[in-house]
Amino acid sequence: MRKKLVVGNWKMNLTRSEASATIESLLLMIEPTTEIEVAICPTYLTIETVGQLFKRTHFKVGAQDVFWMNSGAFTGNVSAPMLKDVGCHFCIVGHSETRGRFGKLDIPESTIPYFSETDETVNLKIKSLLYHSIHPILCCGETLAEREAGQTDEVIQAQLKGALSGIEGAEFHDGVVAYEPVWAIGTGKTCDTAEAGRVCTMIRKALVEILDESAAASIRILYGGSVKGSNAGELFAQPDIDGGLVGGASLVAEDFSKIIQSA
Ligand code: PGA
């Protein structure tokens, strides 16, 4: 039986004092239970702050990205052993925003090449995370143009194949996959529940092919893209949706606590 997992992706939001206030309110709103797993992925700068506040709870802290080398001349980057050192349990990889695929674009389009993630870099990052015992949250999902061209399944299958190349099922057993349709991220447009459920079932079938039956059955598949208190319950009730990756709504304790309660 897969335990439901709700992960907050804070993206580039909240200073240390704002993060503390948000977590303190959240902890007052949520009954401690070990029946579901909850994690927050704040900015690198607030990982320790959030981790400290979670110390006596079962909540976990994660990162939003990682570089695949352990150390060296890689200005601006952070490695898996460094994330481990500050207590990271999870790390998001291959988010559409680090791949330069935005649901809602509010930066100049000419800067897109700056976000240079590929399936190959995602693969290197996952290998480094697994080596350092950090659980990867592998994001995949199609753009609106890909969906309209009927390419949703093939785009996602190619992303999974590339990201998991050379990785054994037993290694990714505790891994997480997040289905995040790019057009639904930060736009307020949620994917239709039945369609989100269908894609997540397709992902589990693809994982049987890419990894193996036992890994595919154990991997938590999350839905992400405008998850709110009002839609979380029906999304999480789909047989192959094991929780959510929540952006905007995880920044407000009251909204995030409603989503956790739905799980
Ligand atoms: P959103 O973001 O909930 O704000 O749409 C989800 C994500 O990008 O992980």
CATH label of the domain that carries residue 82:
3.20.20.70
Ligand 1 near 181 CB (within 6 A): no
Backbone torsions φ then ψ of 32, nearest 5 degrees: -65, 125
Ligand 1 center–CA 36 separation, angstroms: 20
The pTM score is 0.97
Q: Which residue range is the domain that position 161 belongs to?
A: 5-262
* Model pLDDT, residue 228: 95
Active site residue 97: no
Ligand 1 center–CA 73 separation, angstroms: 32
Domain count, the chain: 1
Q: In ligand 1, which atom is closest to the CA atom of 248?
A: 4
Question: pLDDT tens, 26-45?
Answer: 999 987 778 999 999 999 99
Distance, CA of 186 to CA of 95 (rounded, Å): 13
Active site residue 180: yes
| Angstrom distances, CA of residue 29 to CA of 22, 23, 32, 65, 103 | 11, 10, 10, 28, 31
Ligand 1 center–CA 186 separation, angstroms: 5
Residue 30 Ramachandran class (φ > 0 left, ψ -120 to 50 alpha, else beta): beta
The tens-digit pLDDT sequence of the chain (263 residues) is 899 999 999 999 999 999 999 999 999 998 777 899 999 999 999 999 999 999 989 999 999 999 999 999 999 999 999 999 999 999 999 999 999 998 888 889 899 988 889 999 999 999 999 999 999 999 999 999 999 999 999 999 999 999 999 999 999 998 999 999 999 998 888 899 999 999 999 999 999 999 999 999 999 999 999 999 999 999 999 999 999 999 999 999 999 999 999 99
Mean pLDDT, rounded, of the chain: 96
